[in-house]
Amino acid sequence: MPVASITNLTVRYGSKTAVNDMTVQVPDGCVGLLGPNGAGKSTLIKTLLGFVKPAGGHGQVLGLDVATQGLAIRQKIGLMPEQDCHIPGMNAVTFAAYAGELAGMPAKDAMRRAHETLEYCGLGEARYRNVETYSTGMKQRIKLAQALIHGPKLLFLDEPTNGLDPAGRDEMLALIRDISHGKGVNVLVSSHLLPDIERTCDQVIVMQTGRVVTQGLVAELRRMTTVQVEVDLKIASAEFVNAMDRRGARVLQQFGSNYRFELPDNVADAGRELFAAARDSGAQLRGFRPAVRSLEDIFLEAVE
Amino acid sequence: MTQDRGTSQNGGGMDDFVLDGGSASAVAQTPPPLARLGGPIADLSYRNYDGPLHNRAIRWWVIAVSRVRYLRVRWWFWLFVALSLLPWLFTTVIMYFQSQTGGVAANSPFFDNTVGQKYAVHFYQTLGWQGFWLFCIALMTGAGAISSDNRSNALLVYLSKPITKGDYLLGKWMSTFLMVFSVALIPSLLFYLYCLLSYYSDGFLKEEPWLLLRIVGACAVPAAIHASLLTGTSAWSKTPVLAGATYAGVYFVSGIVALAVWGIRFRGDFSQGLLLRHLSIGGIIDGMNQNIFGITQHITAWQRHRGVQQLTLAPPSFWAMLAIAAGLCVIGIVAARLRIRAVEVVAG
């Protein structure tokens, strides 16, 4: 069941079209929203939240109409914005509880929940510190905590790992993965960092110039349509390539002594063929593995 | 014995822990990412919130109260509150000595024995003296109300929650209004109580039965005007200091300009140009309050060409004052409303 469905959505900033006649279904689970800078990812999120009025088309989030039920939508969603944002003069626990009260939670519940959420986000020790004194990583965490405080059904995360060091990034991605799997929270992660999406999301939507260019399960998209293997030789060998060519395989990529071969569909045992070619050409085969497409390959294919 | 501690709500975190045969062997199938590191006994996994939610109608109140919470722990705020109480203390002391000396001081400029405004004049005068401190408190409360949110992108936090721009604006406006109103009203009510206890037998209630309502109305005037204009000024700034300085500039310059124009136009004749003399923020508050208390001022003025004069000054036109005051409030609120946006949209 889609958590958001958008039909012919167009968003314009003056004469510039940010989202262009877009139709897409955002499935449940953890979905990555990929695209280069200026692709319209943030605009799409802002439109779904009701911050930006669309010039055309319509959309639904969790079954609620974007144009007329903005408040009801915001009751059920949480937003972790890309920009640094906090409420000045507050410590973390007050800030998180205040965010909960703004969402309608009774003050007592909001305070209890603020402690829980801050612990979960790894700010338990720093909860009484003023948010303005936080490091970039801690500010990212507090943004996540305020988004989670009222128990949203859908979480929009806009560039959640911005400005984080490698350890902080790992922890943030682990948190996102944890929330979005088995906790009943759907997550839409907008990012231009492909490894982040690869680590957290099960599905991706790739956008470019305000349109969806590809969409689907990451596992499906990564699946090869032909039999391909990555081969690692001790040294590059033209004879090995010729030997493979005689067996009906062709070279797709070569980086030094690493090759990617596309094998004929009727090959039953790729290993046997590779060993045979190595024996015939006198090349030393160091290793081989079935080739998979990376998210980067999918992304580049989609945007090119 | 196998005891599944289960989930408290519908999160699914605590069901990862199973106690088996009395030995606490915790089996964490999908341990929460940060719980893995420190290993506290407490359940730190994510749990959903399915508790009650308040109606949206009172969410502005949460915003209004948050500013009060911020100010109540600032010593400088309380210093200004204390200073704003001094005029009331002064008036109370004067009243007390007047009553102790058997009316000796009754002919001093502090007293006006005109029937119907004998007591109201004290409230009018004292609120006027308190005006500067109310202005300072309004600055402290209102200057940073929206400007500091602008600086820290807090509007994204507010408007991503189920509140409207109107709720946000009402909350911010109310925070300044309630603060100034309370600081004006509470000492006024205490002074009213003092007068009631001291002058009940002198016909305090009989002579001025509507005084209590007039006090409430008069306290609301500076609160509403300051709250509206400061909210508007604050919304157009990213620094509380700049917003405060701008409003203070408008407040003082409008007062000086109005007096200067009146002085030049009417050669300092108090009996003329009443409306022009009140065409400033402070003047409008004063004019409104003079109308609300129904005060006709009896003043002694000295002028170079006319010498010493006893003047009787009626309040400026109530409707003109009301229209200008309402106009200022509308301008402030509309200015703020135009500026409140969750995201900056730059048309290309």
Give the three-class secondary structure for A211.
Answer: strand
A292 touches chain B (CB under 8 A): no
- Closest in A46, A104, A120 to B32, CB measured: A120
In a domain, B43, yes or no: no
Domain boundaries, chain A: 4-217, 227-303
Per residue in A7-29, pLDDT (tens digit) is 999 999 888 889 999 999 999 99
For residue B253, tell me if it sits in a domain.
yes
* H helix and E strand count, chain B: 12, 4
Strands (E), chain B: 2-4, 18-20, 297-303, 307-313
How far the first Cα of chain B sits from its last, in Å, is 68
Helices B211-235, B281-293: crossing angle, 10 deg rounding: 160
Q: Looking at this predicted complex, what is its ipTM?
A: 0.83
Domain that holds residue B309: 84-339
pLDDT in tens, B260-302: 999 898 887 777 888 999 999 999 999 999 999 999 888 777 7
- Alpha carbon dihedral A148, A150, A151, A152, in 10-degree steps, equals -80
N residues, chain B: 348
Lowest mean pLDDT among A178-187, B22-31, B241-250: B22-31
Q: Number of CB pairs < 8 Å for A and B? A: 151
Task: Determine, yes or no, domain membership for B59.
Answer: no
Model confidence at A97, in pLDDT bands (50, 70, 90)? very high
* Separation between Cα atoms, residue B77 and residue B144, nearest integer Å: 13
The residues, ordered by sequence, that sit 6+ positions from B330 with a Cβ below 8 Å of its Cβ are B228
Provide mean pLDDT across the span A67-82.
91
Confidence of residue B303 (pLDDT cuts 50, 70, 90): confident
Q: Which CATH class is domain A4-217?
A: alpha beta
- Tally of CB atoms within 10 A around A276: 15
pLDDT tens digits, A258-267: 999 989 888 8
Model confidence at B346, pLDDT cuts 50, 70, 90, reads: low
B348, part of any domain:
no
Average pLDDT of A212-218? 90
**Residue among B63, B152, B163 minimizing CB distance to A88:** B152
Which amino acid is present at B236? W
Is residue B38 very low, low, confident or very high in pLDDT (cuts 50, 70, 90)? Answer: low
Contact B42 A119 (CB under 8 A): yes
For all residues of chain B together, what is the average pLDDT?
84
- Per CB-CB distance under 8 Å, the chain B contacts of A181 are 30
8 Å CB contact of A102 and B45: no
CB A104 to CB B149 under 8 A?
A: no
CA A232 vs CA A155, A224, A238, A296, B46: distances in Å = 42, 19, 14, 21, 44
pTM of this prediction exceeds 0.95: no
| Distances in whole angstroms, Cα of residue A60 to Cα of each of A5, A10, A49, B13, B268 | 5, 14, 10, 30, 67
Query: How many domains is chain B partitioned into structurally?
Result: 1
A77, A153 Cβ separation under 8 angstroms: yes
> Nearest 5°: phi and psi at A266?
-85, 5
Q: What residues contact residue B273 under an 8 Å CB cut-off, 6+ apart?
A: B262, B265, B266
User: Could you give phi then psi for residue A25, rounded to 5 degrees?
Assistant: -115, 120
Burial of B308 (C-beta count, 10 Å sphere; 0-12/13-18/19+): exposed
In a domain, B49, yes or no: no
For residue B341, which residues of chain A lie inside 8 Å, CB to CB?
A: 51
Average pLDDT over residues B22-51: 59
CATH architecture of the domain with residue range A227-303: 2-Layer Sandwich (3.30)
Domain membership flag for residue B9:
no
Percent of chain B at pLDDT above 90?
57
